[in-house]
Structure 1
Amino acid sequence: MAWLLGNPLASSPPQPPRQVWMPARGEGSGCVGKGKRGAEGLEAMKQRDRSPPRNKPWKKLKSMVHWSPFVVSFNKRYPWVQLAGHAGNFKAGDYGRILKKLCPREQQCLERLMQDSLRPHVPAYFGLSQRDGECYNQMEDLLAGFETPSIMDCKMGVRTYLEEELEQARQRPRLRRDMYEKMVAVEPGAPTPEEHAQRAVLKPRYMQWREALSSSATLGFRIEGIKKADGTCSTNFKTTRLPEQVVQALGDFVDGDRTILTNYLGCLKDLRAALEQSEFFHTHEVVGSSLLFVHDRTGLAKVWMIDFGKTVPLARGQTLTHRLPWVEGNREDGYLWGLDNLITIFSTMEQD
C-alpha cells in the first residue's frame, strides 16, 4: 500500500513529538495484546487521549488533491493523497506524522528496520498510537520538505501474493465473480470458455493472470500510480509491461528533467547497495512492497521503500537472493531483479 500526506504549513512552529508507548520486540501488537505490559501501554495511551486538547498549529490548508478513487480530507487538517490501497486504513497524525491501521506484521518489520542498514530508506517509525478505539502504526510524513511534489508508486517484485496465500486459496477453492469481472474489464479474452460460462474464476488463477498482464512478470516491478505537480493523475498502468512503455511513463513523470532523472538514479543505486548489505532484506520474503518516488520543481528527488504488510521472515538459516526466478516453494520474490531493471531503465533515459 502506498500513502502520502501533504505538508503542514511551513510557517508552523516546530512541536515536540508526542510520546507513544512502543512495545518491546516480541510482544507483537501492544494495542491488542492481553499481557500486563500490553494493558499498561493501552491504558497509558488512553490517559494521554483524555488530556486537554492543545492548540493546533496548522490553521490553514492547501487545496484538496483529488486522486481517484479516494478523496479524504481528515477533518480539513491537511490533504491526503493515496495512490493505491484502502483509504480507511489511514488517519492524519500529530506534527506531520501519519497513522496507518495496525498490522502486527508490518509493525514488527518497521521495528526491525529501525535497527537495520535500510533505516535511511524507509519511513521513520514512532511506535503505536490509539485513535477512536483503533490502534495505528505512527510513521513519518515522507512529503515534508517538498514543494508541490510529483509522486509515483512502483510495486516491486515478480508477484504481489505470498506463497502461503496461493496455497490457502488452493486448499479452499472458491469461485470469485468479482475477480472474473475485474479480469474481463481489462482483458475480455483472458477467461477460458469454462470461466466465461461460470462467470467466475478461482483466486490463484486471477492472481497469476494479474501479474502476467503487467511488467511485474517481465521486469520485476510495475507502476501503480502517478500524481504530477500539475494535478494530473493516472493509475492506468495495468497493461504497461514492455520497457518502452515504462520509459514513456517515466519520461512523462519527470517531464524530461535530466537533473531529476540523475537524482533518482543515485537514490536507486544507494538503495540497491543498502539492500545487498541488509540482514533484514536477505532474511525476509518481500512481497507487495512499493518504492515511493517523490520530486519537486527544485530538483529534490527521493525514493523510499514502503508497505511491509506482506513482508515475511524466513526460517532460521534461510536466505534469498531476490534475483533468482520464482519457482513455487523457493520463496524468491524478484525484488532485486526488478530494481536492477529499474536502474537500467533510468540509466538509459539519463544517457539519451
Structure 2
Amino acid sequence: MSQLPWLHPERVALIEAALRERILVLDGGMGTMLQGHRLDEASFRGERFEHGRDGEHAAHHDHPGCDLKGNNDLLTLTQPAIIRGVHEAYLEAGADLVETNTFNSTRISQADYHLEHLAYELNRAGAQVAREACDAMTARTPHKPRFSIGVLGPTSRTASLSPDVNDPGFRNVSFGELAANYTESASGLIDGGADLIMVETIFDTLNAKAALFALSELFRARGARLPVMISGTITDRSGRTLSGQTAEAFYYSVRHARPLSVGFNCALGAADLRPHVQTLASIAECYVSTHPNAGLPNAFGEYDETPEQMAAVIGGFARDGLLNLVGGCCGTTPAHIAAIAEAVRGVAPRALPSDNAEAA
C-alpha cells in the first residue's frame, strides 16, 4: 500500500505540512447534531422514499415499507442541506477536518433498513457533501485548508466473537464479507472526493484488518492511495477493546498498514481515555489522534461534560505532547470543538519518533 503514489499528492502535502506545524482539530458528533433537528419518519424518507397516500410505499420509490427513522446516513441523500450544515458548523468552530456522514454506510449496516443497494451511493454522496463544505471554507481561509475524512465504521457485526453465547464458534460474518463491504464503501468515498480514509470506532481488530486489507487491494487496483487513519475503541474502564486487546496490542496489530495516524475514539470521555492515548503516544511511529465522548453517558443516555470541562482535559493532553489530531465523538457539539481548538492553539504537536531521532 505504501509504495503506491498518492491519489491527490498536492492535498497530502498540505495535510502533512499542517501536521508538522500544529495539532489539527477534527469535528465532533454527527448524531448529536442530527438529534437536535428532531426529524420524523417523513423527514428521513424525504421525497425519494416517501409513502404513498394510502400508507403503502409508492411503487416508483426504491424501498420497501419498513421505517427509516434513525438511519442517519440516509439523510445525506434525503436531507443533504442538513448534513452540509453540520459540516459547516464544525468548520466554523475551527475544525481542520470533517468526517463524512457514512458511519453505517456499509451493506451490512444498511441491511437493517433494507437499503443495502445504496451503500456505494451513500458513501459517494457523503464524501461529496463533505468535500463541498471543505472547499467552500478553504476558499474563505486559503491559509488554512480544510480536509474531508471518508469514514468506514465498524459495521454491526464482529468477526472475532460469537453473537450466540451458547455457540462460541459461531460467526455471523466472514472476513471476506467484511472486506467486500469495505471495498464497495471505500470506492464511494474515493469517488466522492475524500482526502483521507478513517477506519474508526474499531471494537474488533479483525474487522479493522478486513477494512485495511480491502483498502490495500482497492488502492492497488486503482494504482494510487489515500492516507489512512485508524481509530480504535476502548469499550470500558477495563482498558481493552471489545475483542480483548490493550492499547499497545491494538497498535501493533495495525501498524503494518503504515497509517497516517492511530488513535482512540468513542466509548469513554477524555479523562478515561488519557492513559490509552498516552500509551500510543509512547510507541506509535505515526501521528496520534483522539476524539473522545463528552464524558460517560448519564442515566438518560445523554452526555453532560461541558465544552470547558472537555477542553481543559484535552489541553493537558496537548501540553504533555500526546497529540497530533483531536476532536470529539458522542455528545460533542461545535461549542466543544471551538473550546478544544482554543485549548490546543499554539501548543506544539507531538513529535514523531523519526523527528526525535533526526534531532539527536
TM-score, scaled to structure 1: 0.26
**Greater per-residue strand proportion:** 1
Bigger radius of gyration? 1
